[in-house]
């Protein structure tokens, strides 16, 4: 995107707005988990690797992003996280979003504003994944081990 500075600025301005928003019930770990999950489904090595490192930083869970990248349905996720990711993936896949989707989120404490945030993050990363894929972006090697805490075991749920 460096070849298109205007697009670069707008892309990262929107990224910063949705990822660094201070309101709502999504933590930075939640937002990064959405990015990892959407990027995994879209098979985007760069985004999975980079956002897994960010998720480890914010969550202090050194293995959860790895679990999600292999099979999010078998990962040590809370019921809240499962509901959040199911909604994010419905948006990513361009499913027909129904009232049932919102009800599942609401059952786990999310409101319509949170649903908007989850959907916006999912849609943004679906687009970002396509850009990363067609430009053949590769993660720097240091991202693979970034924010891994040796000797600490992640507790489940």
pLDDT tens digits, one per residue of 84-122: 999 999 999 999 999 999 999 999 999 999 999 999 999
Domain residue spans in the chain? 5-144
Distance CA 79, CA 85 (A): 10
pLDDT of residue 2: 77
Confidence (pLDDT) at 148:
84
Contact 148, 55 (CB under 8 A): no
Model confidence at 153: pLDDT above 70: no
The conformational region for residue 138 under phi > 0 = left, psi -120 to 50 = alpha, else beta, is: beta
Question: How confident is the model at residue 113, as a pLDDT?
Answer: 97
Q: Taking every pair of C-alpha atoms in the chain, what is the biggest distance, in angstroms?
A: 45
Q: What is the pTM of this model?
A: 0.90
Q: For the domain with range 5-144, which CATH number is right: 3.40.50.300, 1.20.1250.20, 1.20.1290.10, 3.40.640.10?
A: 1.20.1290.10
* Percent of all residues in the chain with a pLDDT value above 70, rounded to a whole number: 94
Tokens of 130: 């396509």
pLDDT of residue 115: 98
What's the pLDDT tens digit per position in 16-47? 999 999 999 999 999 999 999 999 999 999 99
Is the pLDDT reported for residue 151 higher than 70?
no
């Amino acid at each position: 995107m460096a070849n298109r500075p205007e697009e670069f600025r707008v892309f990262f301005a929107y990224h910063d707005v949705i990822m660094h928003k201070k309101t709502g019930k999504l933590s930075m770990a939640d937002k990064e988990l959405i990015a990892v999950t959407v990027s995994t489904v879209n098979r985007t090595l760069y985004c999975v690797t980079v956002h897994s490192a960010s998720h480890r930083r914010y969550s202090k869970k050194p293995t959860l992003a790895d679990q999600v990248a292999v099979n999010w349905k078998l990962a040590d996720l809370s019921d809240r996280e499962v509901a959040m990711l199911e909604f994010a993936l419905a948006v990513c896949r361009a499913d027909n979003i129904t009232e049932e989707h919102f009800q599942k989120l609401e059952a786990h404490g999310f409101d319509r504003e949170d649903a908007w945030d989850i959907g916006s993050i999912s849609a943004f990363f679906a687009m970002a994944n396509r850009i990363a894929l067609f430009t053949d972006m590769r993660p720097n090697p240091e991202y693979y081990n970034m924010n891994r805490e040796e000797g600490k075991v992640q507790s489940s749920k």
